[in-house]
């Protein structure tokens, strides 16, 4: 089927929607056959007690496949170690997503911020389905774009699928946090999240070059321009973006279920009343992300119990945990903590410090990235976070 057929009409409609404020990418979106790059994907099973996913596999030119692949939606292509390409009919997957084709509006927005121009050498970190890569090469040319992914299968299949519509960019299966395929780039865009920002990226970014990436376990999207002094300076962007973290194996480390078992009902060594209301960390996301910046690697879980209690758990790999409970009418609040660290004390400290600074918007933070020290800096300069 040619671009003048149904997929072409759908791609143009998608371009009209997602590139309205980034017209330089309109043609690339309208002429990229996303349905060839994402033939099958996973959809979350509604109301499943575990993270369960079911396979979606429409016929190539079916209306359902065209409608889905040219919608402005993220399509999850792998869950845990199981790629949708390898799933059997009716097979289900369980776990967290490990690869996807990101919603096109976010990709285009990031590309617009990247400000790549013809002639620039661009590094695309996180090949995934190859959709972002295909947009890059459509506008900039195959010879100007290099894409990398840690997963050899993703690289192999993206290379093969791009070739079916005449695109042959360089794609390498490497750990992007290590050495890069080329010594220098004008632009680097990552559709995986990182912390720390790899030194290899900073060394490879030419003076005047720009980096666009996200900070792991937050939705903080940052842009930074490399200076002649080897420091890339920029800011957090106002629109959040969430990506999977860089990894070195087929799946992410297991969740802290053993720590959760200990924290679920135990009293703990420290029981007290909290300093104020129990925050809903899934709705109060700026606080959650500040806490992650300050105290990285804490796993958060929440539940509403049958008796109406709202419970928040904070879990750490060293065995430390905290559980905060609030009754349905908020008349009774209790915090339980155990382990080497007092995780709820840390959360309350972050909240107090943020309130003292008038709860500044996170996109008002500035960014400084260098091989020696990468950090986010609060507006008053008195609060910094190493990234």
Residue 266 lies in a domain: yes
- Taking only the tens place, the pLDDT of each residue in 135-160 is 999 999 999 999 999 999 999 999 99
Of 171, 206, 236, the position where a domain reaches its end is: 236
- Taking only the tens place, the pLDDT of each residue in 15-30 is 999 999 999 999 999 9
Q: With contact defined as beta carbons under 8 Å apart, do 110 and 214 qualify?
A: no
Task: Quickly state the pLDDT bin for 341 (edges 50, 70, 90).
Answer: very high
| Together in a domain, 180 and 116 | yes
Please check the confidence at residue 166 and state whether its pLDDT lies above 90: yes
Of the candidates 164, 153, 217, 223, the residue with the CA atom closest to the CA atom of residue 363: 223
Please check the confidence at residue 307 and state whether its pLDDT lies above 90: no
- Taking only the tens place, the pLDDT of each residue in 313-334 is 999 999 999 999 998 776 789 9
The domain in which residue 311 lies consists of: 257-356
Please check the confidence at residue 281 and state whether its pLDDT lies above 80: yes
- Taking only the tens place, the pLDDT of each residue in 169-223 is 999 999 999 999 999 999 999 999 999 999 999 999 999 999 999 999 999 999 9
Residue 383 lies in a domain: no
Residue 384 lies in a domain: no
| Together in a domain, 44 and 188 | yes
| Together in a domain, 306 and 230 | no
Percent of the chain with pLDDT over 70: 97
Domains identified in the chain, total number = 2
| Together in a domain, 339 and 209 | no
- Taking only the tens place, the pLDDT of each residue in 227-242 is 999 999 999 999 999 9
Of the candidates 89, 130, 135, the residue with the CA atom closest to the CA atom of residue 110: 135
> What's the rounded mean pLDDT across residues 114-119?
96
What pLDDT, on the 0 to 100 scale, is given for residue 254? Answer: 81
Of 179, 205, 236, the position where a domain reaches its end is: 236
What pLDDT, on the 0 to 100 scale, is given for residue 4? Answer: 41
Q: With contact defined as beta carbons under 8 Å apart, do 121 and 185 qualify?
A: yes
Task: Quickly state the pLDDT bin for 3 (edges 50, 70, 90).
Answer: very low
What pLDDT, on the 0 to 100 scale, is given for residue 49? Answer: 64
Find the CATH number of the domain harbouring 343. 3.30.160
| Together in a domain, 173 and 289 | no
| Together in a domain, 60 and 197 | yes
- Taking only the tens place, the pLDDT of each residue in 29-39 is 999 999 999 99
Q: SS3 sequence, the chain?
A: CCCCCHHHHHHHHHHHHHCCCCHHHHHHHHCCCHHHHCCCEEEECCCCCCCEEEEECCCCCCHHHHHHHCCCCCEEEEECCEEHHHCCCCCEEECCEEEEECCHHHHHHHHHHHCCCCCCCEEEECCCCCHHHHHHHHHHCHHHEEEEECCHHHHHHHHHHHHCCCCCCEEEECCCCCCCCCCCEEEEEEEEEECCCCHHHHHHEEEEEEEEEEECCCCCEEEEEECCCCCEEEEECCCCCCCCECCCCCCCCCCCHHHHHHHCCCCCCEEECCCCCCCCCCCCHHHHHHHHHHCCCCEEEEEECCCCCEEEEEECCCCCEEEEEECCCCCCEEEEEECCCCHHHHHHHHHHHHHHCCCCCHHHCEEEECCCCCEEECCCCCCEEEC
| Together in a domain, 104 and 224 | yes
Please check the confidence at residue 2 and state whether its pLDDT lies above 60: no
Least confident of 2-16, 100-114, 278-292: 2-16
Task: Quickly state the pLDDT bin for 102 (edges 50, 70, 90).
Answer: very high
| Together in a domain, 178 and 322 | no
> What's the rounded mean pLDDT across residues 353-360?
96
Task: Quickly state the pLDDT bin for 1 (edges 50, 70, 90).
Answer: very low
| Together in a domain, 11 and 122 | yes
Least confident of 46-50, 95-99, 178-182, 211-215: 46-50
| Together in a domain, 297 and 227 | no
| Together in a domain, 221 and 278 | no
Residue 66 lies in a domain: yes
Percent of the chain with pLDDT over 90: 88
What pLDDT, on the 0 to 100 scale, is given for residue 120? Answer: 98
């Amino acid at each position: 089927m040619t671009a003048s057929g149904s997929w072409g009409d759908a791609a143009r409609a998608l371009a009209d929607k997602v590139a309205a404020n980034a017209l330089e990418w309109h043609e690339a979106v309208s002429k990229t056959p996303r349905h060839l790059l994402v033939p099958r994907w996973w959809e979350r099973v509604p109301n499943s007690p575990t993270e369960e996913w079911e396979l979606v596999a429409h016929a190539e030119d079916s209306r359902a496949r065209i409608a889905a692949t040219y919608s402005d939606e993220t399509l999850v292509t792998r869950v845990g170690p199981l790629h949708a390409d390898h799933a059997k009919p009716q097979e289900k997957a369980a776990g967290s997503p490990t690869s996807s084709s990101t919603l096109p509006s976010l990709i285009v927005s990031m590309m617009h911020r990247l400000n790549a121009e013809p002639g620039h050498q661009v590094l695309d970190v996180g090949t995934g389905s190859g959709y972002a890569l295909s947009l890059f090469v459509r506008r900039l040319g195959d010879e100007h774009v290099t894409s990398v992914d840690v997963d050899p299968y993703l690289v192999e299949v993206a290379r093969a699928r791009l070739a079916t519509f005449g695109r042959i960019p360089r794609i390498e299966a490497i750990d992007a946090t290590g050495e890069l395929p080329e010594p220098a780039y004008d632009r680097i865009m990552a559709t995986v999240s990182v912390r720390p920002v790899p030194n290899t990226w900073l060394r490879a970014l030419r003076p005047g070059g720009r980096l666009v990436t996200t900070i792991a376990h937050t939705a903080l999207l940052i842009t930074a321009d490399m200076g002649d002094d080897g420091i890339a300076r920029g800011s957090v962007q106002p629109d959040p973006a969430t990506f999977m973290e860089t990894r070195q194996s087929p799946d992410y480390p297991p969740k802290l279920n053993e720590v959760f078992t200990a924290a679920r009902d135990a009293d703990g060594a420290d029981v007290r009343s909290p300093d104020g209301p129990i925050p809903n960390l899934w709705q109060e996301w700026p606080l959650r992300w500040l806490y992650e910046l300050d105290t990285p690697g804490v796993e958060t879980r929440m539940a509403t119990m049958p008796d109406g209690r709202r419970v928040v758990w904070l879990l750490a790999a060293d065995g430390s945990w905290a559980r905060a409970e609030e009754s349905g009418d908020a008349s009774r609040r209790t915090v339980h903590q155990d382990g080497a660290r007092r995780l709820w004390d840390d959360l309350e400290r972050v909240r107090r410090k943020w309130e003292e600074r008038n709860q500044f918007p996170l996109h008002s933070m500035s960014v400084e990235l260098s091989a020696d020290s990468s950090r986010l800096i609060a507006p008053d300069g008195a609060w910094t976070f190493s990234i």
